[in-house]
Structure 1
């Protein structure tokens, strides 16, 4: 990306805030720059009212490179974004939101994976199989977020995920993509799938997940 991605992140955060996926200060968005550093939303910022000064630039090793003032802290989930960027060289954006549906479906998981229904919407992730059998990786939630990041690194080093998304139980969903625009689409697709899964359970559809 040759231009400042922060206006795109601000617009996305406002949209997700209106949808109820980033209420209050919840959630975080980041975008990677050509030098490997990334802009990420600062901690404690209302995602419906972000401005350019509500971001911090982080080096791949976690060093703070730019911040509007010394009292502005990086997002609590910065270590998760670091993990994603270190694992996937083509990842240029990482979006994490806290939706009600994401938390509900995390309880539908079969161990450490959430079976996904074979919906047409999976094409939004580039899945072009007929009746695909896919499961989203699910991770335990920890108060110390670096523990979650460590679990992600360990698991994805051993086995690549089937799609660019992961779920943290009772916490939220994270997607990553080749651009902020694609990450935006991925997030809308996965949240659609989650809403379907919750609705299907409510009306008793078999194989809802």
Structure 2
């Protein structure tokens, strides 16, 4: 069995592409290696047809240490993945997707958080309580992506999030966890919750 995490990243990217969450070259996925470096999708690659060479390997200092293709460049959002891996030592994968539903969450945000409905599906984000009050952290979107990463680091150093997920306004959700399989499931749960919020508003 091949233990190269890029193969699972390619599979997840293809599935998210089919869902409409990684259209064109949008979004980025990464997986950490035992030496604390991580593979991340290179900039400008179609997520519906990733190849094994469409990744770069980065260290936690933000330096590229391996590129199978000399033309590859790190994703603009590499700094966000770097921040997550630096903040959470148990994070072994970090997925960021761009869905329409995530970008429609703005009216439901309260301050710097998106309140999540107390539905069964929040268990998929690690919350096992009756009638939970769960808040997803929300961050402003900046053209200078390292500024987003800096704000994530500052806020999470002061207060850990309720769930391993955050939302960037008019941009998309970022999810992390201790395995690629878990993170893939959590992305699907987060996107389900976004759709639920939109559908429940339509019924009011």
TM-score by length of 1: 0.95
Equivalence map 1:180-191=2 (5 Å): 180-191=180-191
Could you list the per-position Cα deviations for residues 143-164 of structure 1 after superposition, in whole angstroms to 9, with x for gaps in the alignment? 0000000000000000000000
Moved over 3 A (4+): none
The answer to whether the 8 Å contact 2:54/2:69 transfers is no
Name whichever of 117-126 and 13-22 sits farther off: 117-126
Residue 152 (structure 1) aligns with = 152
Residue 207 (structure 1) aligns with = none
Question: SS of the residue aligned with 1:52?
Answer: coil
TM-score by length of 2: 0.98
Distance in 1, Cα, partners of 2:57 & 2:99: 26
Distance in 2, Cα, partners of 1:152 & 1:107: 21
Residue 122 (structure 1) aligns with = 122
Distance in 1, Cα, partners of 2:117 & 2:188: 16
Post-superposition shift, 1:97? 0.2
Question: SS of the residue aligned with 2:118?
Answer: coil
The answer to whether the 8 Å contact 2:32/2:92 transfers is yes
Superposition RMSD on alpha carbons, in Å?
0.9
Post-superposition shift, 1:60? 1.1
Residue 199 (structure 1) aligns with = 199
Residue 14 (structure 1) aligns with = 14
Unmatched tracts of structure 1, length 5 or more: 205-209
Structure 2 residue 47 is the aligned partner of structure 1 residue 59: no
Structure 2 residue 98 is the aligned partner of structure 1 residue 98: yes
Post-superposition shift, 1:47? 0.2
Question: SS of the residue aligned with 2:105?
Answer: helix
Distance in 2, Cα, partners of 1:126 & 1:109: 21
Aligned residues: 203
Equivalence map 1:18-57=2 (5 Å): 18-57=18-57
